[in-house]
Structure 1
């Protein structure tokens, strides 16, 4: 099962796959394979983020718990999680520590920071919007946590990263032109 979070790309690929069936030429089957390949590649790309905590050691019993955390990390509390899965808070804390090597708070912060880093690099969203998307009520608080975690402000991180990526792309174009 793949969680697509209402992905525009996934919806477009499913639509194209569906519409391909209404073409009546000799390329329909090849195109179906093409659309299916693209669909699964996009689903797998999205699923990496969702499945990063799952492992063979985690076993089938705790995978749903960790997936739930990944899907709700912006707002979930340990108490809410314990109620949802009918575990006591201390036992749940122990499970999380054994499974991830981190306590609940550090694990949630890590997910928020990785998502924030991804959004800073891949979107033009404002810092306020990114702070909301990662579960922070205040852009100032988000910026403080980001700076503590990465040692640099979100604004500077975005600026420096875009500078390096533009240097990389100019190097690539020079190499291609040579």
Structure 2
């Protein structure tokens, strides 16, 4: 966050020239150009990706830093209002500070700090300068480039792959997408990735576009994992199935030391959510399901290893011998020692 705020302070505080929007339309050095198409004003991207920082100050000029090469194009727009226009590219905006109001098609929408919004190509919109007081970070991408990033390296049959496909479906069917954080602490992750993208874009060392593509993939994964966006009822049910599998895998991997807070920190939902989720798929509470996993692993160790029972107890996460014997006996009808003796009799050992 410190790196990001340093970058932000440098760019928003730098000196800049003042231009009218009309003047900038005729500037061939911009990272995009404008066209009139059937009476509509279009912004058209001249490259795969462009990044910019904008500062809205209500009645004052809009301060803009556009990164076209290693030197940013810093300027201000003096027009009383920003023009209504369409893009031929995707625009992903992150609200760093304050609030920004935007008319998307015919609807006035206000976005607050730490929200992101994605506006699809060909959708008419207008930033309402006179009622906005915000600093925003824009990443503009050609649709083909965005789709390539979104669909690349999707882990098959996983929650992350499922979420990315949902995002693609929602993007294709909506004029815009709004991302609201499910937890506030994700802000640092988002701002860190934005600062990494900006640093690579400004430095432009060999292979910088591949590195940016990797960072943007990470950004999308943060969005689909930590931000809320709309789902249909069928998709919500499928999401729960994938989420349960992720939680189940996590519990089987960390069964020795896992606590409910670890699930909250990893998957960004409340403890009550995980209790309900596990109850839905197993009929057990979180604590009962964890005991089930530990005892199942302990039973397998009794059967397939020669480890001492006290060592097995410690390995599956129990340090109270009385409690371990109690829950094991309740589940399998025998103490661990009796269970092992019975197995030896069956094997003729």
Cα distance change of structure 1 residues 140 and 76 upon mapping to structure 2, 3 Å threshold: same
Selected match of 2:254 from 51, 72, 88: 72
Unmatched segments (≥5 aa) in structure 1:
2-55, 168-178
Matched-pair contact (CA < 8 Å) for 2:240–2:277: no
1:141 paired with 2:323, answer yes
Aligned CA distance change for structure 1 residues 79 and 120 (closer, same or farther; 3 Å): same
Is contact 1:127-1:139 (8 Å) kept? no
Q: In 2, distance between residues paired with 1:145 and 1:76? A: 18
Choose the corresponding residue for 1:110, options 292, 296, 301.
292
Residues 147 and 154, structure 1, Cα contact 8 Å, conserved in 2: yes
Shift of 1:71: 0.9
**2:274 — aligned with what?**
92
How far the C-alpha of 1:137 sits from its partner, in A, is 1.1
Partner of 2:348: helix, strand, or coil? Answer: helix
2:305 and 2:296 mapped to 1: Cα distance? 14
- The equivalent of 1:81 in structure 2 is 263
Q: Greater Rg, structure 1 or structure 2?
A: 2
Q: 2:283: which partner in 1?
A: 101
Cα distance, 1:99 vs structure 2: 2.3
Q: Is the 8 A contact 2:244 2:278 kept in 1?
A: no
Change (3 A) 1:61 1:104: closer
Closer, same or farther in 2 for the Cα pair 1:95/1:143, shift >3 Å? same
Q: 1:89 to 1:153 in 2, by over 3 A?
A: same
Give SS of 2:318's match: coil
| Shift in Å, 1:63 | 2.3
Write the deviation string for residues 103-125 of structure 1: whole angstroms up to 9, x where unpaired.
11111111111111111111111
Give CA deviations for 1:5-25 in whole Å, capped at 9, x if unaligned: xxxxxxxxxxxxxxxxxxxxx
| CA–CA separation in structure 2 for the residues paired with 1:166 and 1:58 | 46
Q: TM-score, normalised by structure 2?
A: 0.30
Query: Does the residue aligned with 1:143 lie in a helix, a strand or coil?
Result: helix
Deviations 1:86-144 (A, max 9, x none): 00111121111112221111111111111111111111111110001111013333122
> Residue 314 of structure 2 aligns with which residue?
132
Cα RMSD (Å) = 2.2
Does the 8 Å CA contact 2:325/2:336 hold for their aligned counterparts? yes
Question: Does the aligned pair in 2 maintain the 1:96–1:103 contact within 8 Å?
Answer: yes
Shift of 1:57: 8.9
Q: Tell me if structure 1 keeps the 8 A contact 2:313–2:321.
A: yes
Q: Which runs of 5+ in 2 are unaligned?
A: 1-154, 156-237
| Count of residue pairs the alignment pairs up | 113
- The CA distance in 1 between the partners of 2:242 and 2:250, in whole Å, is 13
CA contact (8 A) 1:93 1:103 kept: yes
Higher strand share goes to which structure?
2
Q: Aligned-pair distance for 1:58?
A: 5.4
Task: Check 1:61–1:111 CA distance in 2 against 1; reply closer, same or farther (3 A cut).
Answer: closer
Separation of aligned partners in 1, 2:269 and 2:240: 17
